[in-house]
Amino acid sequence: MARLKVGVLISGRGSNLQALIDAAADPAYPAEIAVVISNRRDAAGLARAAAAGIPHIVAPETDRAAFAAAADRALRDAGVGLVALAGFMRLLDEGFVAAWTDRLVNIHPSLLPAFPGLHAQRQALAAGVKFSGCTVHFVRAAVDTGPIIAQAVVAVADGDDEARLADRILAAEHRLYPLAVRLFAEGRLRIVGNQVAVAGGAAPALAALNPSETLT
């Protein structure tokens, strides 16, 4: 069966892009990365695309509409059925979001709707929460909003700093994004209002306490 073609938009490091590339290396994975688009020429993720033999382009940053037009053309030329934002740090043109609605997803390093925007891990530490995590969601016009597809929970440890918490959340991101893209590719996501129903999906029966109740 033909695999879903995914276009990935990046601005930097591209470790989530790498997680998707690695997942797609398995022929049984139902999606493949067809094109990578960066708004920055110096994005390290471009080298990851090159190393994997994936077409990649830098779209002009002159203005938001010009970027959107160039990205849209490249995505359509590549036959993309899903656009995944992976550390893409520019606000998207509203027309682009509307054109790709329900076929445009993002990953964010918090349990949305908590801590949208920049420095989500720093916001979590400042708020003193005991758990944070990451979220994959369909993109809507407002930043870091839209129906939630999947989340991973990461406990905040005493003495965590932003870098340590971000590292543990990132490790969860690298598991969560390939899962969410797989569920989309398998046609198992149904958007009902602001919620996403996952066919065959089951929530784990867990209640994690932080601090753990086994503390002595």
Using CB under 6 A as the binding rule, whether residue 7 contacts ligand GRF is answered as no
For residue 150 the two structure tokens come to 């999947």
CA dist 125 and 202 (Å) reads: 30
- Of 155, 170, 179, 198, which lies in the binding site for ligand GRF, with binding defined by CB under 6 A? 170
- Which residue, 44 or 155, is less far from ligand GRF as judged by CB? 44
- Which residue, 69 or 122, is less far from ligand GRF as judged by CB? 122
Give the x-and-dash track for 62-101 against ligand GRF (CB under 6 A): ------------------------xx--------------
Residue type present at position 111? L
Helix (H/G/I), strand (E/B), else coil: 57 = strand
For residue 117 the two structure tokens come to 């925007």
Residue type present at position 184? F
Would you call the peptide bond into 109 cis, given omega within 30 degrees of 0 as the criterion? Answer: no
DSSP string, 182-193: HHHHTT-EEEET
CA dist 19 and 65 (Å) reads: 29
Using CB under 6 A as the binding rule, whether residue 108 contacts ligand GRF is answered as yes
- Exposed/middle/buried for residue 163 (C-beta within 10 Å: 0-12, 13-18, 19+): exposed
**Least distance from C-beta 31 to ligand GRF, angstroms?**
17
Q: What are the beta bridge partners of residue 136?
A: 107, 150
- Which residue, 30 or 87, is less far from ligand GRF as judged by CB? 87
What is the footprint of ligand GRF within residues 173-212 (CB under 6 A)? 173
- Of 3, 13, 40, 188, which lies in the binding site for ligand GRF, with binding defined by CB under 6 A? 13
Using CB under 6 A as the binding rule, whether residue 39 contacts ligand GRF is answered as no
For residue 180 the two structure tokens come to 């969410």
**Least distance from C-beta 182 to ligand GRF, angstroms?**
18
Q: Which of 56, 108, 137, 174 is catalytic?
A: 108
In what order do the strands lie in the sheet containing 104-108? 56-58, 31-38, 4-10, 82-85, 104-108, 131-138, 148-155, 195-198, 189-192
Using CB under 6 A as the binding rule, whether residue 12 contacts ligand GRF is answered as yes
137 is known as an active-site residue: no
Using CB under 6 A as the binding rule, whether residue 109 contacts ligand GRF is answered as yes
- Residues at the site binding ligand GRF, with contacts judged by CB under 6 A: 12-16, 86-87, 107-109, 170, 173
- Catalytic residue numbers? 108
